[in-house]
């Protein structure tokens, strides 16, 4: 009997491996097919992600439709509002797209960061102080991955991998840094451990994460939405603190890295934003750290990079510096035309463009977007929202219970969970 069971198990594993190999071969063939079919401009457009809103007016709707139908934009990032409206917009745009869109979101503390129908998880700083934090963050990652996958969203721009200054520095300066509430803390190993758990949880549910904001914006009081900060960290500090989490996550197969709008004299003495810096992206990230995945800019619309720069030129410079995906450019159509023209004239290498596009299409393939049986239309939203609410509510209550128990025996600081969840009395 044991021998029969073993043979059956081996046959099952063999069949599973064969099916997986066949699926991967089909995906590779589909990627090559698209690489041969896409025009120069369509290839460039695959590198662009634009923002879409739940209820765009007629002018905005026409603009977004043109980006998809005429230019072949590669993806969208969904913004705030009702999930029912945004799913309707996703479905509409996907139905018009020649290549399935990479649908993305910034949902660090869950779908509630964008959609009013969901429950909100605590921010990363709060999560890091929980007893059994790694277990809770992993479970949260799975829940978030599941609820996003159910909405047709393939990528979550999370977790934050920035390392905050230690408590002595915070007390000395009498304020927290700009990123502190969104950071897992000041211990690089702990940040890496919790970021790994978050990413692993999402990936197991079919949603990919993104480490941000490379090479690290933990030690600044300036918000890059408003202006560009400068981080004066030595090479030793960069290696042992800021870059440490990335080393581990890259070794674990991190699919995407978001480069921040910060200056680092140690990395690039020209004081260009890291998102425009070839020494940062090509020499450090791809060179020293041997990163093979997708590099994406932080939103180009942010003042930390866009202030005082021509909207087309800054996007072209981000491409030139080494980014694969250009997130939320101010002037997207003009930027697509400018990059395509530069490739056509030989200013930018065609091989480089193809490599960038291939990385984007490979991620789409991993997400199942290029499979023959892929259906981009999302349905049954009400049921999915209700199920997500139950899962999130259950886990948040477990977090609260663990926090309360720890506080009773003085294991954690308080209050760090205050206001973490509307609708649940923390």
Span 91-106, pLDDT tens digits: 999 999 999 999 999 9
> Which residue stretches of 151-270 are H helix?
167-173, 188-204, 235-237, 244-251
Give the pLDDT band (50/70/90) at residue 414.
Answer: very low
Span 172-191, pLDDT tens digits: 555 678 888 999 999 999 99
Give the pLDDT band (50/70/90) at residue 285.
Answer: very high
**Rounded Cα distance, 255 and 240, in Å:** 22
The residue-averaged pLDDT of 214-221 equals: 92
Span 130-146, pLDDT tens digits: 999 999 999 999 999 99
**pLDDT in the model for residue 169:** 56
Q: Residue 371 pLDDT > 50, yes or no?
A: yes
Residue with tokens 């910060």: 262
**pLDDT in the model for residue 213:** 95
Give the pLDDT band (50/70/90) at residue 323.
Answer: very high
**pLDDT in the model for residue 129:** 94
**pLDDT in the model for residue 176:** 72
Give the pLDDT band (50/70/90) at residue 418.
Answer: very low
The neighbouring-strand residues paired with 72 are none
Pick 83 or 172 by higher pLDDT.
83
Q: Residue 3 pLDDT > 80, yes or no?
A: no
**Rounded Cα distance, 310 and 386, in Å:** 45
Q: Give yes or no for a contact between 260 and 272, defined as CB atoms under 8 angstroms apart.
A: no
- Please give the domain boundaries of the chain with CATH numbers for all domains: 39-408 (3.20.20.300)
Give the pLDDT band (50/70/90) at residue 148.
Answer: very high
Give the pLDDT band (50/70/90) at residue 24.
Answer: confident
Q: Residue 417 pLDDT > 80, yes or no?
A: no
Q: Residue 423 pLDDT > 80, yes or no?
A: no
The residue-averaged pLDDT of 18-35 equals: 84
Q: Residue 329 pLDDT > 50, yes or no?
A: yes
Give the pLDDT band (50/70/90) at residue 14.
Answer: low
* Average model confidence (pLDDT) across the chain: 90
Q: Residue 308 pLDDT > 70, yes or no?
A: yes
Residue with tokens 């799975």: 142
Query: If you write DSSP's letter for every residue of 308-354 in order, what string do you get?
Result: TS-HHHHHHHHHHHT-SBEES-SSHHHHHHHHHHHHHTTSS-HHHHH
Give the pLDDT band (50/70/90) at residue 347.
Answer: very high
Q: Residue 381 pLDDT > 90, yes or no?
A: yes
The residue-averaged pLDDT of 48-65 equals: 94
Q: Residue 330 pLDDT > 50, yes or no?
A: yes
Q: Give yes or no for a contact between 311 and 334, defined as CB atoms under 8 angstroms apart.
A: yes
Lowest average pLDDT, out of 6-20, 69-83, 257-271, goes to 6-20
**Rounded Cα distance, 77 and 85, in Å:** 14
């Amino acid at each position: 009997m044991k021998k029969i069971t073993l043979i059956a198990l081996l046959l099952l594993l063999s069949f599973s491996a064969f099916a997986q190999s066949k699926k991967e071969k089909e995906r590779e063939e589909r990627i090559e097919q698209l690489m041969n079919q896409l025009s120069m401009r369509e290839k460039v457009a695959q590198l662009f992600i634009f923002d879409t809103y739940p209820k765009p007016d007629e002018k905005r709707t026409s603009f977004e439709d043109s980006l998809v139908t005429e230019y072949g934009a590669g993806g969208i990032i969904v913004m705030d509002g009702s999930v029912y409206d945004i799913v309707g917009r996703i479905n509409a745009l996907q139905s018009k797209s020649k290549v399935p869109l990479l649908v993305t979101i910034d949902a660090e503390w869950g779908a509630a960061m964008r959609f009013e129908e969901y429950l909100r998880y605590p921010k990363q700083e709060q999560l890091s102080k929980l007893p059994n934090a790694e277990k809770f963050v992993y479970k949260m990652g799975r829940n978030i991955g599941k609820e996003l996958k159910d909405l047709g969203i393939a990528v979550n721009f999370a977790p934050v991998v920035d390392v905050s200054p230690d408590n002595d520095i915070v007390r000395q300066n009498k304020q927290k840094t700009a990123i502190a509430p969104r950071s897992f803390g000041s211990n690089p190993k702990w940040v890496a451990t919790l970021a790994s758990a978050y990413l692993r949880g999402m990936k197991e549910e079919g949603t990919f994460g993104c480490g941000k904001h490379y090479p690290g914006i933990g030690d600044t009081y300036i918000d890059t939405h408003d202006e560009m900060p400068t981080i004066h960290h030595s090479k030793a500090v960069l290696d042992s603190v800021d870059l440490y989490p990335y080393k581990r996550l890259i070794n674990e197969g991190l699919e995407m890295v978001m480069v921040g709008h910060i200056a680092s004299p140690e990395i690039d003495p020209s004081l260009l934003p890291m998102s425009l810096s070839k020494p940062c992206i090509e020499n450090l990230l791809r060179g020293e750290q041997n990163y093979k995945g997708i590099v994406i800019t932080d939103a180009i619309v942010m003042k930390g990079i866009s202030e005082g720069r021509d909207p087309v030129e800054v996007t072209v410079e981000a491409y030139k510096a080494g980014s694969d995906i250009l997130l939320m450019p101010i002037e997207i159509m003009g930027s697509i035309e400018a990059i395509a023209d530069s490739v056509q004239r030989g200013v930018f290498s065609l091989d480089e463009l193809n490599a960038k596009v291939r990385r984007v299409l490979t991620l789409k393939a991993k997400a199942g977007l290029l499979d023959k049986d892929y259906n981009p239309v999302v349905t049954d939203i009400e049921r999915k929202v209700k199920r997500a609410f139950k899962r999130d509510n259950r886990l948040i209550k477990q977090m609260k219970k663990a926090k309360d128990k720890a506080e009773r025996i003085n294991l954690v600081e308080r209050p760090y969970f205050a206001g973490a969840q509307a609708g649940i009395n923390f």
